[in-house]
Amino acid sequence: MMDHLLAAWMCSLIEASRMRHVFDARGPWEPGRKLRLLFAGYNGARNTGADVRVDGMVRQIGHVLGPDQVDLSVLTLDPSLTKGYFAGARQVVLPKIFPPFLFREVPRHDGVVACEGSMFKSKFADALAVMMIGALGLASAHNRIAVGYGGEAGKMNRVPKWMTRRYCRRSLVIARSEESREILADLGVPCEVGTDTAWTFEPAGPEYGEAQLRKAGWSGEPVLVLCPINPFWWPVKASLLKGAARLFGGYRASHYASLYFHRSGREVDEAYDRYLSAIAAATDAFRKRTRVFVVCVAMERLDTDACGRVSDKLGGVPVFSSNDHDMYELVSIARRGTWMVSSRYHGIVTTMPGGVVSAGITMDERIRNLMRQRGQEHLFLEVDDPDLEARLGAVLDTLAKDADDIREGIGRTVVEHLKEMARMGARFAEHVRMHIPGFPVRGGTRPWHDYLPPLSPTLTPLLERYEGSTTG
């Protein structure tokens, strides 16, 4: 009921904006002024994946349109947790009650770029989908640029699905997968296939990650990075009753934020423990037959509990959390790994450019799609697989035995995604040119990599090695 009220509130403000725009003679952009773009995402919760995605978007779009021609703003829940992020962009605090804020903030910009990966999905929270749809809908209502950049569409509940069909038909969505494109096409939303935007992220130097590992007891042996999560407590839902009980100490373990609570109960707890126990048991058996230093990395601070539990089951292996390390530091640590097993999609994405040999245990389609793109479908497992321990043990042995071949597939795939991300940049520039004909978007023939931000020394050798062996 609370989620429905939030959605109704958002819908009413979009409808009001449509009427407001009819009587607003002011155009969205005037020649000689910088183009104001608002990046609407869920940053500031120390979700490393969300933050590295937006970092990639800000750097790319600023580069493609010209840093002297744009005025970029990024939403954040907590500026203290995104301090030093998103260079060149202003950070704007996003309140937990977001509809009236978006109603005021969106018209101040010439366009909205929706950033959240789970953009059109009810898997994690209807409220998150409502926020993304609402931002795009408000931008369209004011005849502003409305672009969903590198997101996913999946199963949606009735209300966000209805909102998507009604309010996003004038948006351009560049999705991460063909499956997402098909879902949005069925809802009448213009959609093209692109990729994630974290491929160009460059963390702190490798010396930082190495120093942190040595402080934790590492002596130079191969490193296995584990990125477990709690895949069973989603979605979060608003509850007035649980919120009231929370005042008296109830539902403490399942409380997410404000009036929102994770799924909870015996079934959730038992599934969570089976998953963590399988990871720990397979890892313990692997380290008994392979010289390895095991660490757990919490890519989102919510994952700290899962990492702590796996660590305890393994006798106290080191835990590195986004609660204690910013995105530059945490990815530097993860890239120092030799092998990785991750239930976090961006744990895999951000370490692939560094050549970390990875496998995934997936709760949704993202890791599954990525492994298929790599031609390595044998390297993903499902979080609820009843034979997870045995199958993960076999996958760990494969990572060690076939590391060179797996790394070749990873390198080719990184370059393919860089090319796809460049096409997204070119498409975004074209969309701006069509929507605002007077805006001075640089034209002419440009090499494909000019639609990416300047590439790091990590990525340049991959391009030199694999560019000729990929399509595009």
For the stretch 412-463, pLDDT in tens is: 999 999 999 999 999 999 999 999 988 998 766 788 889 999 999 999 999 9
Residue 93 near residue 19, CB atoms below 8 Å: no
pLDDT, position 25: 46
Burial of 41 from C-beta contacts in 10 A (0-12 / 13-18 / 19+): buried
pLDDT band at 1 (very low <50, low <70, confident <90, very high): low
Whole-angstrom CA distances from 443 to 422, 439, 446 are: 15, 11, 8
For the stretch 330-386, pLDDT in tens is: 999 999 999 999 999 999 999 999 999 999 999 988 899 999 999 999 999 999 999
pLDDT band at 471 (very low <50, low <70, confident <90, very high): low
Phi/psi of residue 316, nearest 5 degrees: 100, 50
Q: Which of 188, 205, 438 is nearest to 336 (CA)?
A: 205
Computed over every residue of the chain, the mean pLDDT equals: 92
Whole-angstrom distance, CA of residue 138 vs CA of residue 142: 6
pLDDT band at 174 (very low <50, low <70, confident <90, very high): very high
Token representation of residue 300? 């989102």
Whole-angstrom distance, CA of residue 60 vs CA of residue 46: 22
For the stretch 8-36, pLDDT in tens is: 999 999 999 987 765 554 556 888 899 99
Whole-angstrom CA distances from 341 to 150, 199, 200, 371, 373 are: 24, 19, 21, 12, 17
**298/466: higher pLDDT:** 298
Half-sphere exposure of residue 324: CA atoms within 13 angstroms, side-chain side: 9
DSSP assigned state of 300 = B
Token representation of residue 250? 């109830």
Token representation of residue 317? 């292996």
DSSP string across 263-298: --SHHHHHHHHHHHHHHHHHHHHHHHHS--EEEEEE
pLDDT, position 365: 84
Strands (E), 106-233: 111-114, 145-151, 172-175, 191-193, 223-227
User: Domain 16-198+415-472 maps to which CATH number in 3.40.50.300, 3.40.50.720, 3.40.50.2000, 3.40.50.2020?
Assistant: 3.40.50.2000
pLDDT band at 3 (very low <50, low <70, confident <90, very high): confident
Residue ranges per structural domain of the chain: 16-198+415-472, 206-401
Phi/psi of residue 112, nearest 5 degrees: -120, 135
Angle at 298 between CA 294 and CA 302, to 5 degrees: 145
Burial of 170 from C-beta contacts in 10 A (0-12 / 13-18 / 19+): middle
For the stretch 221-263, pLDDT in tens is: 999 999 999 999 877 777 777 777 777 777 778 787 777 787 8
End-to-end CA distance of the chain: 47
Q: Is domain 206-401 annotated with CATH 3.40.50?
A: yes
Residue 323 near residue 303, CB atoms below 8 Å: no
For the stretch 275-311, pLDDT in tens is: 999 999 999 999 999 999 999 999 999 999 999 999 9
For the stretch 114-146, pLDDT in tens is: 999 889 998 878 889 999 999 999 999 999 999
Fold matches, 16-198+415-472 and 206-401: yes
Q: Provide the percentage of residues in the chain whose pLDDT is more than 90.
A: 79
